[in-house]
Every structure is written in structure tokens, then in C-alpha cells.
């Protein structure tokens, strides 16, 4: 239950605000996919706060800016508040400057929890009410995972909830061409054991199971970090993952070395990868999925995050020409269904009644469904209507997110830049190039030890 509904009933404000009904992407009450009751109840609980201006600063530009503003319009319509959103491709640097200079926005949208944690530690973020944590626990799939992701030590050293997670991305995906599977008689694997068996079966049938490319210019190596992170989550409890990304356990701990070797089982076998193991490091990640679409197929599977269809051949129809399945967990490990991903978090950098109201607005299904119905939005909120998703592909990824028993943020983004955007990348290139997992991991750990 949204706590706003428990605070009493104020004047109904359905037609108040800076936005007019004509500005709303979906007119209130007219699309049965949406939870309009959540909108009406929020508006009733908060009433008219048209005397307030709310500033929001985030990383979204271009089409994403239009999308978030389409959501903000409903908050404006419900409350009458004037919301001013601005985006920047240098958000990470600018928000630090603005908060330290004493001129922050009311709300900042963080693409990485580490940055939010840094500001919280400096006393530059406002603690969110305990009810927000209760909401996340009760209404987000793998709710405790999201609470942990949004909780940091404050200036007083005490851990508290400082951010609201909103808009997620899923990385635990394997892409394939359904027609290729059908022609060969293959079925989508539901466990890691089945995925490995399918990999071997494709080779036995004379095919190549995987396309893997780690090339990315100056960022070459980063796709391997997603593989390793997913393997840590599938071979170890989530607390081991957490200790790894904070260096509480070293990179060359046997449990992490084992996860790297699990990635190597796929990437370092010449028979398993298009072009052989030597091609893994040199193939650009944007080109690697093309093998799925050649005739005959150069490969049958490609592991990559939800954004990769942008690099599929023009005209590819998801669900028909290409589809995906969950990168499965080991049945024998009994670790549930972990999901690796990323996302954004809303934090209050300058408190105000409107800022508090906006966080409460994010607890309503309508605040998610409006973006869901357009593009590029996934949510772990189990209270939304899955039918609101714009297409089957988004709906399927949303189901993976809401069925997750554990969610963890991309580990390399949580590590110091010198590791997560440096030594981890190059270490994985060394690994696929011939070094052992232990050698590569030890080299990465040596770099971490050198950080002062």
C-alpha cells in the first residue's frame, strides 16, 4: 500500500497542475492496461501543491528525456507542482560539483549506486523514510536486493535507505534465432546443466554454439565482465558476490577463479565459439551477434544484455526473427534465479515536500506503466500490469526481472574505476588469450592492492 494513501485525504487534484490533459501521453482513464486507481488515489492524497517547483537532474537525454518527462507529466497533473527536468551526458561529474557547491537539484537520478553512496557518505543525500524500504521489500521482486542496492552509510556512518530504484536493465540474457533452433530440433535450456549439454550437442551435430565478442575499442574486454559476474551469482551465494565487488574477498579467491573458469568453459574452447577462441578478444561485441543471422548460422547463441538488438540486422523482428531466454542457473547449486543487471536510482539532494511527494509517486503502478507502454523500460515492481509493456520482448524481460530471487547490479560498475573499467577488462583479455584464471585474477588483485 502506498503510504501516501495512509496520510489522509486532501483535495482531489485530477485537473490541477502545470500539465494539461492534452499533454498526457495516455489520457487518464482511457487505457485499460493502466492502474488509473493508483493515479487517482495519489492525486487525492496529495492535493494541490501548485505553489511548489521541483527540479530533477539526471543522465537521460534525447528520446529518454522525452520518456521520463511523459511520466513526470502525470505527477504534475496530479499535484499541480511544476517539475523541471534537465539531463546531461556529464551527469556524474556535474552532480558532484552542484551538491558540493550547495546548489543541487531537488532530486538526482543516479545511473550508478556507487555515486549515490559517495554523496550519502558526505551528507549530501536525504535519508528516505523507513516506509520506502518496506514498500520495496513487499512490492519489488527480490525486494531485499533492491533495498540493499539503495542503502548506504551516511555521514554518521550508519547505513540507511537513500535512493529509490526505478527503471532496470537485464543482463542475464541469451539471444537466439527461433527458426534455427526449430530447424535443428533444439529446445531452450532451463538450467545451466542443460545449457552446457546443448552447447556440446550443437558441436556434435556439426555446428558452432556461440558467438562471443569482447572487442569495444578502448573498452575492450567489458562483455567478459558480465559473463563472470553472472557466473559468480550462479556458483556462489549473493553475499559472496557482494564481498567480491567490495574487495572483502580478493579477486583471486578460489571461488572467483572458479567463476572465471566457468566463463572460460564457453569462451576458450575452439569448437564452442565462432572463429575459435582466438577470435573472442578481437571480435567487436557489436558485430558478434551477426553470426546468428547468417545462412547457415555461424552460431546459435549469443549472451548479451537487453540493448543488443540495436545491433541486429535492420528489420529484425523480436519474438519472430530473434528471441532470448534467461541465462539459467545451475540446478545443482540451489541458488534460485539470480539476475544481473543495472538501473537508475532517484535520490533527494535538496529536500522539499514536492521531492518527498515525487518519491511516493514512484511507488504507484502508473509511474511505471506509462514508460513501460513506450520503450526501453523494465521494472521489478510486481504491482504493475505486465500487459502494459509495449511489446512481447519487453514483457518477457520484465518477467525475468519479476521472477528473480536475487538481483545484483553490474559488479564492474560497483568496483573502483581502475578495476571495473580497467584491470578487470584487460585481465579477461589476458585470460581468453591464454593466461589461467588464477593468473589473470591475481594480476587484477595486484592492481586493486596498489590503489591507495
Res 340 pLDDT > 50? yes
Q: Give the closest residue to 115 by CA, choosing from 72, 160, 85, 149.
A: 149
Q: How confident is the model at residue 10 (pLDDT cuts 50, 70, 90)?
A: very low
Q: Which tens digits make up the pLDDT trace of 373-421?
A: 999 999 999 999 999 999 999 999 999 999 999 999 999 999 999 999 9
Mean pLDDT computed over 81-95: 96
- On whether both 179 and 327 belong to a single domain, the answer is yes
Q: Which CATH number fits the domain that encloses residue 16?
A: 3.40.190.10
- On whether both 26 and 120 belong to a single domain, the answer is yes
| % of the chain surpassing 90 pLDDT | 94
Res 13 pLDDT > 80? no
Contact (Cβ atoms closer than 8 angstroms) between residue 188 and residue 259 = no
Contact (Cβ atoms closer than 8 angstroms) between residue 397 and residue 318 = no
Average pLDDT, the chain: 94
- On whether both 185 and 166 belong to a single domain, the answer is no
Q: Which tens digits make up the pLDDT trace of 169-217?
A: 999 999 999 999 999 999 999 999 999 999 999 999 999 999 999 999 9
CA pair distance 372, 29, nearest whole angstrom: 17
Q: Which tens digits make up the pLDDT trace of 371-384?
A: 999 999 999 999 99
Mean pLDDT computed over 79-104: 96
**Across the chain, which distance is largest between two alpha carbons, in Å?**
70
Res 15 pLDDT > 60? no
Q: Determine the 3-state secondary structure of 428 from DSSP.
A: helix
pLDDT at 9: 28
- On whether both 211 and 68 belong to a single domain, the answer is no
Residue with cell 530473434: 322
Q: How confident is the model at residue 452 (pLDDT cuts 50, 70, 90)?
A: confident
Mean pLDDT computed over 115-126: 97
Q: How confident is the model at residue 5 (pLDDT cuts 50, 70, 90)?
A: very low
Res 314 pLDDT > 50? yes
pLDDT at 325: 98
Q: Which residue segment(s) compose the domain that 57 sits in? A: 3-170+342-409
Mean pLDDT computed over 330-359: 97
CA pair distance 259, 236, nearest whole angstrom: 9
- On whether both 261 and 180 belong to a single domain, the answer is yes
Q: For the chain, what is the radius of gyration of the CA atoms?
A: 23
- On whether both 335 and 262 belong to a single domain, the answer is yes
- On whether both 181 and 103 belong to a single domain, the answer is no
- On whether both 109 and 243 belong to a single domain, the answer is no
Count of the separate structural domains present in the chain: 2
Q: Which tens digits make up the pLDDT trace of 77-87?
A: 999 999 999 99
CB atoms closer than 10 angstroms to residue 184: 13
- Between helix 365-372 and helix 36-46 the angle, nearest 10°, is 130
Mean pLDDT computed over 88-95: 95
What torsion do the CA atoms of 427, 429, 431, 433 make, to the nearest 10 degrees?
A: -150
CA pair distance 379, 360, nearest whole angstrom: 16
Amino acid at each position: 500500500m502506498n503510504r501516501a494513501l495512509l496520510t489522509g485525504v486532501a483535495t482531489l487534484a485530477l485537473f490541477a497542475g502545470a500539465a494539461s490533459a492534452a499533454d498526457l501521453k495516455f489520457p487518464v482513464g482511457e487505457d485499460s492496461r493502466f492502474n488509473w486507481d493508483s493515479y487517482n488515489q495519489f492525486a487525492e492524497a496529495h492535493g494541490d501543491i501548485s505553489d511548489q517547483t521541483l527540479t530533477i537532474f539526471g543522465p537521460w537525454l534525447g528520446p529518454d528525456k522525452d520518456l521520463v518527462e511523459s511520466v513526470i507529466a502525470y505527477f504534475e497533473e496530479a499535484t499541480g507542482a511544476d517539475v523541471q527536468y534537465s539531463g546531461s551526458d556529464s551527469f556524474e561529474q556535474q552532480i558532484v560539483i552542484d551538491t558540493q557547491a550547495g546548489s543541487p537539484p531537488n532530486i538526482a537520478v543516479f545511473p550508478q549506486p556507487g555515486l549515490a553512496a559517495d554523496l550519502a557518505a558526505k551528507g549530501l543525500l536525504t535519508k528516505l523514510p523507513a516506509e520506502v524500504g518496506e514498500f520495496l521489500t513487499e512490492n519489488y521482486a527480490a525486494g531485499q536486493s533492491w533495498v540493499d542496492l539503495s542503502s548506504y552509510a551516511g555521514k554518521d556512518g550508519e547505513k540507511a535507505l537513500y535512493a529509490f530504484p526505478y527503471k532496470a536493465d537485464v543482463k542475464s540474457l541469451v539471444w537466439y534465432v527461433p527458426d534455427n533452433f526449430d530447424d535443428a530440433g533444439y529446445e531452450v535450456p532451463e538450467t545451466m546443466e542443460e545449457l552446457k549439454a546443448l552447447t556440446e550437442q550443437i558441436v556434435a551435430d556439426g555446428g558452432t554454439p556461440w558467438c562471443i565478442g569482447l572487442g569495444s575499442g578502448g573498452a575492450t574486454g567489458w562483455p567478459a565482465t558480465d559473463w563472470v559476474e553472472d557466473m559468480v551469482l550462479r556458483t556462489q551465494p549473493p553475499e559472496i558476490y557482494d564481498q567480491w565487488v567490495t574487495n572483502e574477498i580478493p579477486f583471486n579467491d578460489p571461488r572467483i577463479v572458479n567463476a572465471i573458469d566457468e566463463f572460460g568453459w564457453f569462451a576458450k574452447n575452439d569448437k564452442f565459439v565462432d572463429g575459435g577462441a582466438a577470435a573472442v578478444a578481437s571480435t567487436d561485441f557489436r558485430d558478434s551477434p551477426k553470426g546468428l543471422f547468417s545462412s547457415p548460422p555461424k552460431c546459435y547463441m549469443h549472451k548479451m544484455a537487453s540493448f543488443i538488438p540495436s545491433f541486429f540486422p535492420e528489420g529484425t523482428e523480436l519474438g519472430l526473427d530473434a528471441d532470448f531466454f534467461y541465462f539459467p542457473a545451475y540446478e545443482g547449486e540451489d541458488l534460485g534465479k539470480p539476475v544481473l543487471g543495472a538501473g537508475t536510482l532517484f535520490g533527494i539532494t535538496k529536500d522539499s515536500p514536492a521531492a518527498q511527494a515525487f518519491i511516493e509517486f514512484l511507488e504507484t503502478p502508473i509511474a511505471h506503466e506509462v514508460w513501460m507502454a513506450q520503450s526501453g523500460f523494465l521494472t521489478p515492481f510486481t504491482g504493475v500490469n505486465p500487459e502494459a509493456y509495449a511489446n512481447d520482448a519487453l514483457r518477457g524481460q520484465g518477467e525475468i526481472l519479476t521472477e528473480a530471487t536475487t538481483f545484483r547490479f553490474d559488479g564492474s560498475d560497483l568496483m573502483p574505476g581502475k578495476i571495473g573499467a580497467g584491470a578487470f577488462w584487460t585481465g579477461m583479455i589476458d585470460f581468453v588469450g591464454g593466461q589461467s584464471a588464477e593468473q589473470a585474477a591475481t594480476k587484477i588483485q595486484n592492481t586493486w592492492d596498489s590503489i591507495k
